[in-house]
Amino acid sequence: MLASSKDDENVVRGSSDQVVELRSVSKLYGDAAAVSSISLNARRGELLCLLGPSGCGKTTTLRMVAGFVEPSSGSVYINNIDMTHQPPYRRDTGMVFQSYALFPHMTVAQNIAFGLENLRWPRERRTKRVAEMLKLIELPHLADRLPRQLSGGQQQRIALARALAMGPAVLLLDEPFSNLDAQLRVRMREELQEVVRSVNVTTLFVTHDQEEALAMSDRIVVMNAGKVEQIGTPGEIYETPATPFVAKFIGWCSLLKGVVSAEGVFTSAAGLRIKADWSPGPGTVVIRPEHVKLSTGGSAGQAHQARVLHSHYSGGATRVVLDINGEQLTMQERFPFGHHPKPGDLLGITINTNDIRLISANEGQS
């Protein structure tokens, strides 16, 4: 299983299913901690995402696994072998860089074969392996082209093939789709997911794109300011965020601070009251757009009158920012064409209290 620095005792030691493990790893630059005592592991064949805002330490963590950055303290294990002080070429990893880092003077086939030549594979074996990789990424017809003759998506796939050619135990991806446009990014992440699944390679990838993380990952490591905030499946991260930071960073939501009374009624700082089955005490309620619905005759939930503050049409739905008793909530609905709400309009809405999440004051501490 995965564990954060808050829960080191839960890290599984020596598991045969465990390919990568970081044990209390930190990286300091002077007095500044880029990564602060994090512990996590990745299972065999797993797609594990390091997710967080710029500067949170996710790329530094990936580079410590790769061997390009040496930890200030802690240990890095790959296949239960301590690799903390080993150079990159001894770690049995393959890396796809954000810029792809293809050699411009080499053909596609030569780029894929580069690492195999360094390992002194015989020519016949290299040729066969390159052909296998080109078939895997469905680009055998581009073997003789130079990188400048390829599209961004094709370059990305060639970089992936080069990383996989040596059959690494761990594939490392640093923001692999950041150079692609939105539609190509979606298509490429589906293709990459299919490729890594087909070869069953343990994959760690870095992104700041929450949608990308939710769509691709088996588990997500949410990082903030060099620390792990939460580790879990996409569903766990989204539905049961452990901290207000995780709730706010993953998807749209409103965070309401307040107190739950002995009767189970939450009262926000602005006075919005929500009754649910929660334990008494201070906390933060997480309300996502799907928890807020237009009132209809059969609507389930607690009814409120809301005033429209903003309305943002995005094609498939309209995101509406509402004022309810002094608190701002967001609702996402599909309105009839020409009937989108305008600022100042009053709407009857219901809040589904069965699905919203309360983060107690103790849970929210990091």
Query: What residue spans define the domains of the chain?
Result: 5-245, 252-360
Is the four-CA dihedral 153, 140, 104, 110 of positive or negative sign? positive
Number of neighbours of residue 9 by Cβ within 10 angstroms: 6
| pLDDT on residue 8 | 38
CA distance 136 to 125: 16
DSSP 334: -
**Domains 5-245 and 252-360 belong to one CATH topology:** no
Q: Taking the chain, what is the end-to-end CA distance rounded to the nearest angstrom?
A: 21
Residues in the chain: 366
Q: What phi-psi label fits residue 11: left (phi over 0), alpha (psi between -120 and 50 degrees) or beta? A: beta
Contacts with 327 (C-beta within 8 Å, 6 or more apart), sequence order? 254, 256, 268, 270, 272
Q: Are 158 and 108 in contact (CB under 8 A)?
A: yes
Angle 17-23-29 (CA atoms, 0-180°, nearest 5)?
140
Rounded Cα distance, 125 and 166, in Å: 12
Q: What is the pLDDT of residue 40?
A: 94
The whole-number pLDDT of residue 300 equals 59
C-beta separation of 350 from 329 below 8 A:
no
The closest alpha carbon to 119, from 166, 82, 87, belongs to 166
Instruction: Give pTM, 2 decimals.
Output: 0.84
| pLDDT for the residue 146 | 92
For residue 69 the two structure tokens come to 């950055």
Q: Would you say 204 and 192 are in contact if contact means Cβ atoms under 8 Å apart?
A: no
d(CA 226, CA 33): 7
What is the C-alpha separation between 102 and 118, in angstroms, rounded? 16
* Nearest-angstrom CA–CA distance, 356 and 298: 20
CA–CA separation, 65 and 59 (whole Å): 10
CATH class for the region spanning 252-360: mainly beta
Ranges of the chain with pLDDT below 50: 1-15, 365-366
Contact 190, 212 (CB under 8 A): no
Which CATH topology does 5-245 take? Rossmann fold (3.40.50)
